Structure 1
Amino acid sequence: MKFSTREDIEAPIEAVFDMLCDFEGFERSAMRRGAEVQRVDRLKSPGIGMMWDVVFSMRGKMRKVQLEMTRFERPQDMLLAYRSPGLEGTFQVELMSLSRSRTRVAISLEVTPLNLSSRLLVQSLKLAKTSLTKRFKLRVAEYAKTMEERYKRLA
Structure 2
Amino acid sequence: MKISTRRDVDVAPDRVFAALTDFTHFEQKARAAGAQVERTNGESRAMAAWRVRFDYRGRSRKADLRVVTYDPDTQLAIKAELDGIHTLFNVEVMEVAPNCARMFVSLDIRPTTMKGRLLVQSLKLAKTSMTRRLDRRLDQFAREIERRPAGGI
Could you tell me which residue of structure 2 aligns to residue 96 of structure 1? 94
Gap regions ≥5 residues in structure 1:
none
Q: Any idea what SS the aligned residue of 2:41 has?
A: coil
Q: 1 CA distance for matches of 2:151 and 2:117?
A: 45
> Once superposed, which parts of structure 1, at least 4 consecutive aligned residues long, lie more than 6 Å away?
none
Deviation at 1:24?
0.3
| 1:1-155 mapped onto 2 (5 Å cutoff) | 1-42=1-42, 44-47=43-46, 49-151=47-149, 154=152
Deviation at 1:35?
1.1
Paired residues, number? 153
Q: 2 CA distance for matches of 1:38 and 1:84?
A: 15
Deviation at 1:83?
1.2
Q: 2 CA distance for matches of 1:120 and 1:59?
A: 16
Deviation at 1:45?
3.6
1:108-130 deviation line (CA, Å, top 9, x unaligned): 11111111111111111111111
Deviation at 1:85?
3.6
Q: Any idea what SS the aligned residue of 1:41 has?
A: coil
1:3-42 deviation line (CA, Å, top 9, x unaligned): 1111100101111111111100000001111111110102
Q: What amino acid maps onto 1:51 in structure 2?
A: A
Two-structure CA RMSD over aligned residues (Å): 1.7
Q: Any idea what SS the aligned residue of 1:66 has?
A: strand
Gap regions ≥5 residues in structure 2:
none
- 8 Å Cα contact 1:53-1:67 kept in structure 2: yes
Identical-pair percentage: 36
TM-score by length of 1: 0.92
Q: Any idea what SS the aligned residue of 1:144 has?
A: helix
Q: Any idea what SS the aligned residue of 1:105 has?
A: strand
1:102-155 deviation line (CA, Å, top 9, x unaligned): 00011111111111111111111111111111111111111111111114685x
Q: Any idea what SS the aligned residue of 1:148 has?
A: helix
Q: 2 CA distance for matches of 1:93 and 1:85?
A: 23
Q: 2 CA distance for matches of 1:151 and 1:11?
A: 10
